[in-house]
Amino acid sequence: MEISMMNRQAGVVKPDLFPFRTVSGSHKSTRLLSGSTRVQFHTTIDKRRVGGVKAVRSEIAVDEKQSQQSISKPKRTEPVRLFVGLPLDSVSECSVVNHSKAIAAGLRALKLLGADGVELPVFWGVVQPESLDRFDWTGYLTLAHMVRDAGLLLRVSLHPYAHTFPGFPIPQWLESVSDSDPDLLFTDRSGRRRHGCLSFSVDELPVLSGKTPLQALETFFASFRDSFADLFGSVITDVMVGLGPDGELRYPSIPSVASRTQVSAVGEFQCYDKYMLANLKHQAENTGNPLWGLAGPHDAPGYNETPNSDGFFKDHGGSWEAPYGQFFLSWYSNLLLGHGDRVLSIASKVFDDLPVRLSGKVALVHAWHRTRARAAELTAGYCDYDAVAQVFARNSCGVVVPGMELLDGEQRDACSSPESVMAEIMAACERHGVPVTGENSSAAAAAATGFRRINKCLLSSSAVETFTYQRMGAEFFSPEHWPLFTAFVRGMTELELTGDDVVSGKETLALPMNAAAAPATSVGRNDREMQTV
């Protein structure tokens, strides 16, 4: 049987409940795909406030060697649930399902392979484009029912912010409000605005036709809950709420895709909208140093400069260690944590009585990690990973951590260390009892060495309960990638083939037929997606 996928067309058993408002899936041994089944992809272009200002570390807070040793010690006794991300543009801005035949065939392949489920990215701008009061969940409901019919579970990621790819904006009504008051958006030192991402300082201000952004988010979450009520627990087992740019709890310190690939990228502080500056001024006056509240650091480097190109982040004698620097970094980080706490608190209230795991995503910011200041982490808002983990623990939410396939030895800059940052985040989550969902950065990056690194992370930490592989598409099903992924899945599920399960002479896990000939398509931040006619 050959399944050809073109574009564009418009009862599983309820698992047991887990702590953290969670449900569990189970891995099952399964027969391999028949050799006569082929999947063909045609690709063309188409609750509490985190308050107060506290001291920031002046040295690396966690011993990296100790962290690396802890991540290498085998601890896992239970299988990790495996999900695969659906394409970011699975639903169009018109709420129509894209790639419907391709996705349906992909779901069947993943079910046969033994995956537990898929992850569905949901964008606020798609479901509530024109009005504060009107939602359209048609496309996402169609996809959820396709997942249910395929016998898979569903993780849903709710994205309130604009996303780099596929270019979905924030809702039109929200964009109109920000156009009339640009200070609602994050702003850098030069006055450039980050369109599609509201400043964390306006969370509780009635700037949206008398409503606060938090109230609008609560309406978004509640509408999702009500529209998918019959799927929770049986199909929808996990809900991730977006906390910032690309769903991550961070400042948009490096706003462009191109800049984020620069190994020298330090980023810039995003604190120059009038609401952030008013907040900074208030905090400075409360500490008895009103001059500290006039602006952000004057001697911080630009987006793609090195830490030592100016005085703020210098390893020795940098003003980040001076009293003003410590004050500013604490204020900046606490504002980020306060935003995360408020959004997770609302999500906990909305989904409290449902059998789903709640989570939010942190960023794996690893550039310049091996310097004393860790400049890229500081501009993103990260001073203390324990404080981050405490926010999630306080709201009974898990943490999604991307980049599990990244290796130190593959970084172009010796000061970059994704493995050390991963170890610190994982250790903080373990200390505070926060369950972890791992992710990779992209299918393109996960070569054989990447899969080995993922397995090491999954097997070495008791905190990791789930792994979401990003992301389904032409590259995912390519002859170069698909065999590596199937081997990875078999290793995760530890299949013990019985006589009936042994693959016979002609039986094999078929590769997508024309994937090798498919044109390389354009990418978003970390994903290569199925492109459509």
Contact 315, 363 (CB under 8 A): no
Give the tokens for residue 334: 């606490």
248 is catalytic: yes
CA distance 366 to 64: 13
**Measuring CA to CA, which residue among 157, 183, 165, 37 is closest to residue 513?**
37
Per residue in 15-35, is it b (16+ CB within 10 Å) or e — as a string?
A: beeeebbbbbbebeeeebbbe
439 is catalytic: yes
Q: Which residue among 248, 377, 424, 475 is the active-site one? A: 248
Peptide bond into 134 cis (omega under 30): no
Crossing angle for the helix pair 138-149 and 100-113, to the nearest 10 degrees: 30
Give the tokens for residue 356: 């789903």
Contact 131, 211 (CB under 8 A): no
Contact 469, 83 (CB under 8 A): yes
CA distance 340 to 317: 32
Residue that is written with structure tokens 């991963």 in the block: 422
Contact 429, 399 (CB under 8 A): yes
Contact 156, 65 (CB under 8 A): no
Q: Which residue among 119, 439, 465, 475 is the active-site one? A: 439
Residues marked active site are found at: 248, 439
